[in-house]
A and B are shown apart, each in its own frame.
Chain A
Amino acid sequence: MSPLDRRTFLSRITVALSVFIAGLVGVPILGNLLAPLFRAPPDGFVEVAKVADFALGVTKLVSIRDQSPLAWAGQTADTALWVRRREDAGPQMFQVFNVNCTHLGCPVNWQASAKIFLCPCHGGVYYADGTVAGGPPPRPLFEREWQVSGDRLLVRQQPLPTVKQG
Chain B
Amino acid sequence: MSVLRGIGKIPGQIASWLGERFELEDSVLAVLRHPVPRELERPVGWWYVFGSATLAVFVVQVATGVGLAMTYVPAPNSAYDSLQFISHDATLGAVVRGIHYFGAGAMVVLVLIHMTQVYLFGAFKFPREANWLSGSLLLLAVLAMAFTGQLLRWDQDAFWSIVVAAEQAAQAPLIGDWLAHLVVAGANVGGATLTRFYATHVFLIPAATFGLIGIHLYLVVKRGISEPPVAGVGVDRRTYRRRYEEILGRGIPFWPDAAWRDAAISAVVVVIVVVLAALIGAPALGRAPDPTVVIADPRPDWYFLGYFALLALIPPATEAIVIIGLPLLAFVFLFLVPIFWPDGERHWSRRPVAIAAVALPFIAYASLTVAGLQSPWVPLLEGANLPTSVTAGLEPQAARGAQLFTAKSCWACHQIDGSGGRKGPDLSHVAARLTRERLVARIAGGGGGMPAFAGSLAPQELDDLTTFLFTRK
Contacts and interface: CB of A to CB of B under 8 A. Distances in A.
Query: Taking each of B169, B316, B407, which has the highest tally of chain A beta carbons within 10 Å of its own beta carbon?
Result: B316
A159 B193 CA distance: 14
A79 B188 contact: yes
Interface residues of B, number: 67
A104 interface: yes
B455 A61 contact: no
A69 B75 CA distance: 13
A125 to B, nearest CB: 5
A164 B423 contact: no
A77 B294 CA distance: 15
A103 B311 CA distance: 11
Interface string B373-410: 00001110100000000000000000000000001111
Interface in A115-136: 115-116, 118-123, 125, 127-128, 133-136
Q: Sort chain A's interface into a size bin.
A: 35 or more
Main secondary structure of the interface of B (DSSP, over half): loop
A62 B378 CA distance: 25
Given A36-B181, A105-B164, A76 B159 contact: yes
A122 B239 CA distance: 56
A127 B168 contact: no
B312 A116 contact: no
A61 B181 CA distance: 26
Contact of A133 (B288, B290, B446): B446
Interface string A40-74: 01100000000000000000010100100111111
Interface stretch (A2-10, A11-19, A106-114, A146-154): A106-114
Contact of B298 (A78, A121, A162): A121
B291 A123 contact: no
Contacts of A125: 451
Contact of B379 (A69, A78, A118): A118
Contacts of A80: 291-294
Contact of B167 (A42, A73, A163): A163
Given A76-B159, A116-B451, A118-B412, A123 B167 contact: no
Given A103-B316, A121-B297, A160-B167, A36 B291 contact: no
B69 to A, nearest CB: 17
A39 B187 contact: yes
B229 interface: no
B451 A134 contact: yes
A104 B408 contact: no
B190 A114 contact: no
B323 to A, nearest CB: 9
B78 interface: yes
Interface string A81-120: 0000000000000000001100111111101011110111
22 contacts: A36-B181, A36-B182, A39-B187, A72-B76, A75-B288, A75-B289, A76-B76, A76-B194, A80-B294, A104-B167, A105-B168, A115-B456, A120-B297, A122-B378, A127-B451, A127-B455, A134-B446, A160-B180, A161-B167, A161-B176, A164-B170, A164-B177
Going nearest first, the 7 A-B pairs with the smallest beta carbon separation are A74-B77, A70-B191, A105-B167, A133-B451, A159-B187, A73-B191, A161-B170
